[in-house]
Structure 1
Amino acid sequence: MCATVTDSARDRSRHEESTLRERLLANPEPALRWGAVALVLVVLEFGALAGGLLLLLDATVIGVTALIEVVLGAVSQSAGEAVYAAQQSASGFLDGLRAAAGNVPTLLSRETIPNQGYQTGPSSSWEGTFLGLQPAVAWAIRFVLVYLYAAVVSYWVYRGWLVFRDHYRQVEWTPRDDVVDRLRDHRWGQFGIVVVLVFVTMALFSPALGPTTVEQNIQSPYSNEIQYFDAESGSVETIYAGDANFNSKSKGQGDQNVGPMTYDDYGRFHPFGTLTNGRDLFTFSVAGARVSMMVGALAIVLASLIAIIASMMSAYYKGLVDLVTILVADGITSIPGLLLLLMVGMAFQGHWLVNVLNGGFLYALTFGIILFPSLWRSVRGPALQVSEEEWIDAAKSFGQRPRTTMRKHMLPYVVPYLLVYGSMTVGGVIISMAALSFIGSGLGINPPTPAWGRAIDMGRNYVSTQSWHIAFIPGMFIVVLVTGLNAFGDGIRDAIDPESEGGGEEEAQAGGAAG
C-alpha cells in the first residue's frame, strides 16, 4: 500500500510539473470528444460567429487607432491623417471580410429558415416561407432554434471547463471550484446568468432573430421591395418596404395600430408590433440590444482596464503614486457625469469619431473615463490588502519584477471584486445611453440606428392608448437586463464571499453609478 501511495504522489508531482501540451498528449480522449462537438457547433454557425468576431476586431482596431490619431493629431496633423488613412484601410478590409462571412449560409440563417413571403390568394398557401408555413410559425421556429443553439453552446463551454478541471489542470483544487459550486446553488445569481445569456444571444444573433432586417426595414426601406397579396386587385403586388411602413404605423388612433403578434396589411408578421413610423419593433429592439451591449461592454472593459492598472500601481508603490491616482480620480468624479456626456456629444458633432459604431464608440470612451474612479475605489481596498501579504514581500525580496508580482500574485485576488462591481455598473451605462437617446437633439446613438431610448421617446405619448407596446417593450428590456446584471453581480459576490450573502444593498444599487 505504501508503494501505491508513493506512486500516486509521484504521479501527481509529475502531472503538476508537466505542460498543458504534455497532459493533452498523455490523455487526449476527453479533449478530442469535447473538441469534436465544439467543432460541429462552430461549423453550424460559422458565418454568424465569424461575423461577430470580425465586428469585435473592427471595433478594437478603430478604438486603438482612434486613440493614436487623437494623440498624434495634437502634435502633427499629417501624422494624424496618416493614422486615420491606415484605420480606414484596415476597417474597410475587415468590413469586406465581415460581408463575406455574412454571405456564408448557416443552419439558423434567414436564408435557411425564411419567414418573409406572400400568398397568391385569400386562402392559399404561403410562397417564399420555410416549408410554406405562415410567417409567424417560420419566424418562431428560427427564434426557438437560435436560443436552443445558444443554450447548447453555453452548456458546452461550461462542459469544456469541467473537462479541463478533471483531466488537464495541474492542481486538483483551486478556490474557483468553491466559487462555481456556490454559484450553482445561488438561484438569484442563476437568474442573472440566464438574463445575461438571453441578451448576449439577442445581440450576437440579432440579424437572424428579427422577422426582417435592419437594412431592409429601418436603414434603407426604399431600396428594398416586398411582395404581398392585394385583396382589392386579387393579385400579387410589389411595394417598397418604406411605403408599406408608412401604411403600417402605430399611433393609437382608431385602426392606426399594428399591435404585438399581429400581421400588417402586407402580410408581414410583427411579434412586438410596429413603431410610430411603421418599422418593426422587434427588429428595432433586438438591434438595439446589440448596440447597448456593445457600448456597455466597451465602456466597462476600458474602465476596468484603467482601474486595474491604477489599483495595482497604487497598491504596490503606495506613497506618491497612490496620492496622484487619488487626485486624478477625485478630479474626474468632481465633474457631473451627465454634464460630461452632454459636453462630449456637443463638442464632437461632425467629427469622424461620431460615425464609429454609430456614435457608440465615443460614448463608450466617455463612460470608461467616468466609471474608472468608482471601479478603482472598489478594488483599491482589496489591492492594498493583498499587497501587505507575506508572499508579496517574499516576491520582492527574491528580486521578482513588479509587473510579474502584480500579474501573478495580486491580479487574481483583485479580479473577482472587479467582476462583481463591473457587472453591476454596466446597467448604469445602458440606462444612461437610453436616456441620451431619449433626450435626442444629436445625443446618443445616431439615427436611424436602433436605440431603446429612441423607441421609448417615440411611444411615450401613446402609453395609455392601444399603441402602448412602443414604449413599454423597450422599457421592459432595460429593466430586465439591468436587473439581471445586478443579480449576476450579487451571485458572483456571494459565491466569492459567502458571508456577504443577503447583504450589500449598496453594491446592488451600483447599477445606477453611471448616471
Structure 2
Amino acid sequence: MESLNPYWWNIMLELMKRVPKAPAIILLVLITAALFADFLALGNPEFGNPRQRLLPPCWETRGTLRFPLGTDTMGRDILTRLIYGARISLLVSFGAVIFAGFLGTAAGVVAGFFGGWVDQVIMRFTDAWLSIPVVMFGMLMGVIVGSGVFNIVIILSLVFWTRYARVVRGETLSLKTRDFVHLATIAGCGKFMIMRKHIVPNVMNSVITLGSLQIGIAIVMEASLTFLGVGVPPPKPAWGLMLSEGRAGLSAGYWWLVLFPGGAIALLVMSFNLLGDWLRVYLDPHYRNLE
C-alpha cells in the first residue's frame, strides 16, 4: 500500500520549509529600505532636474552612477522613488489588511456565535458586498472620497473585510460547540467574555494566514487603482503611479521607466505570497500532521 505522503508531496513540504528564507530576506530588505528611506535615498523622490531627464541605468550608454537605475521624465531618480514607493506600498497594504481583519473578524465572530437572525443578516450583507466588482467599487470610492494614502487604505479595507468575515464565521461555528466554550458558559461567563477570551484567540491563526495572503493582493490593488488615477496622487512616489507615468515612454525605448517599478511590485507580491503559503502550512495542524 502506498504511503499517505507520496514522493512529490514530501518534496513540496521540504521546499516549503526552505523557500521562506528567500522571500523573508527580500521582505526584510524592502521593509528596512522603507523604514530608513530618508537615510538611504539619493535625492528628493518628488522633484528632479529636467536637464537630467530620461537618463538610462548606469550600465547603459549615457548612464551614471549618480542615478543607478536611471531617471524618469522629470529627472527624478528611479531608485529613490522605488525606495520611497516601498514605504507607501507597505503602509497601504498593512493598514488595509489590519483594518479589514479587525472589521471582518468582529463581524464573523458575532455572526457565528449568535447565529439565528443575526447570522442571517450579517452573512447576507456579506454575500451582497462580495458581489460588487472590486475594481469598479475601488474607482467609485476613489472618486467619492478622493485620492490619498489614508483614503486608499479605507477603500481597500472595505474591499477585503468580507473574506475575513466568512472565514472567521466558519471557525466560530465550529469553536462554539467545543467543550471549553460549554464549560465557560456553565461557569457563568458572559457571551462577550467568551467571544473575547475563547473564540477570538482561537481564530487568530486563520486571520493571520489570510492576512499574509491578502497583503499581496492589497499591493496589486493599490498599484492598480493608482495606475487608474484614483489612488495615491502625484507627485508621490507610488509604484503604480510610476507605471502610469512611464507607460508612454515604453514605446520610445525608455524601458526602465516601467521595468523597475513593475519588477518591484512583482517581487514584493511574490515574496508575500510565498511567505503566506508557508505560514498556512505551518499554522494548519492538518498540514503539519502530514509531515
**Same fold, TM exceeding 0.5?**
yes
Residue 283 of structure 1: CA displacement?
0.9
What does residue 291 of structure 1 align with? 88
Distance 1:260 1:460 in 2: 21
* CA 468–260 in structure 1, closer or farther in 2 if over 3 Å, else same: farther
Q: 1:419 to 1:272 in 2, by over 3 A?
A: same
Match of 1:437 in 2: 226
Read off the aligned partner of 1:201 and give its amino acid letter: T
Aligned to 2:73, what secondary structure does the other structure show? Answer: coil
1:197 is aligned to: 28
Residue 438 of structure 1, CA deviation: 1.6
1:274 and 1:436 map into 2 onto residues whose CA distance is 24
Structure of higher CA gyration radius: 1
Query: CA separation in 2, counterparts of 1:205 and 1:311?
Result: 37
Shift of residue 465, structure 1, vs aligned partner: 5.9
Structure possessing the higher relative contact order (Cα contacts under 8 Å, 6 or more residues apart): 2
Matched, 1:407 2:196: yes
Deviation larger for 375-384 or 203-212: 375-384
Residue deviations 1:342-364 (CA, integer Å, cap 9, x gap): 11121234xxxx5xxxx011121
CA distance in 1, matches of 2:68, 2:217: 28
Instruction: Give the Cα–Cα distance (whole angstroms) in 1 for the partners of residues 21 and 106 of structure 2.
Output: 30
2:101 to 304, 309, 318: 304
1:275 alignment partner, one of 59, 72, 96? 72
Look up the match of 2:237.
450
- 1:169-228 deviations in whole A, cap 9, x for unaligned? xxxxxxxxxxxxx99x811233333232222212211111211133xxx2xx4xxxxxxx
Residue pair 2:53, 2:73 contacting (<8 A) in 1 also: yes
1:318, distance to aligned residue in structure 2 (A): 1.3
| Whole-Å separation in 2 of the counterparts to 1:480 and 1:425 | 15
Deviation at 1:369, TM superposition (A): 1.2
53, 63, 67: which is aligned to 1:249?
Answer: 53
Q: How does 1:53-452 map to 2 (within 5 A)?
A: 186-214=17-45, 218=46, 221=47, 242=48, 245-250=49-54, 257-260=55-58, 269-349=66-146, 354=147, 359-440=148-229, 443-452=230-239
Q: 1:408 to 1:348 in 2, by over 3 A?
A: closer
Number of positions where the alignment pairs a residue of Structure 1 with one of Structure 2: 277
Amino acid aligned to 1:307: G
2:237 is paired with a residue whose SS is coil
1:458-473 correspondence to structure 2 within 5 Å: 458-463=245-250, 467-473=254-260
Distance in 2 between the 1:347 and 1:432 partners? 17
- Verify the 8 A CA contact 1:260 1:271 in the aligned structure 2: yes
Instruction: After TM superposition, give the deviation of residue 304 of structure 1 in Å.
Output: 0.2
Unaligned 5+ segments in structure 1 are: 1-181, 222-241, 251-256, 504-515
Structure 2, unaligned runs of 5 or more? 1-12
Distance 1:273 1:498, change over 3 A: farther
2:262 corresponds to: 475
C-alpha distance in 2 between matches for 1:464 and 1:340? 31
Distance 1:406 1:196, change over 3 A: farther
Residue identity in the other structure for 2:241: R
- CA shift in 2, pair 1:192/1:401, >3 Å: farther
**Alpha-carbon deviation of 1:262?**
7.7
Which letter maps to 2:155? Answer: T
TM-score when normalising by structure 2: 0.87
* 1:313-339 residue CA offsets vs partner (Å, 9 max, x unmatched): 122211122111102211211221111
Alpha carbons 2:69, 2:79 under 8 Å: kept: yes
Question: 5 Å matches for 1:4-23?
Answer: none
Matches of 1:482 and 1:453, distance apart in 2: 13
Distance 2:198 2:133 in 1: 36
Corresponding residue for 1:19? none
Q: Read off the aligned partner of 1:412 and give its amino acid letter.
A: P
**Are the equivalent residues in 2 in contact too, given 1:259–1:467 (CA < 8 A)?**
no
Offset at 1:261?
5.8
Q: 1:448 to 1:407 in 2, by over 3 A?
A: same
Give the secondary-structure state (helix, strand or coil) at the position aligned to 2:52: coil
Write the letter of the residue equivalent to 2:124.
L
Q: Secondary structure at the match of 1:474?
A: helix
Please report how far the alpha carbon of residue 403 of structure 1 lies from its aligned counterpart in structure 2 after TM superposition: 2.4
CA distance in structure 1 between the aligned counterparts of 2:32 and 2:70, rounded to whole angstroms: 21
Does 2:277 align with 1:490? yes
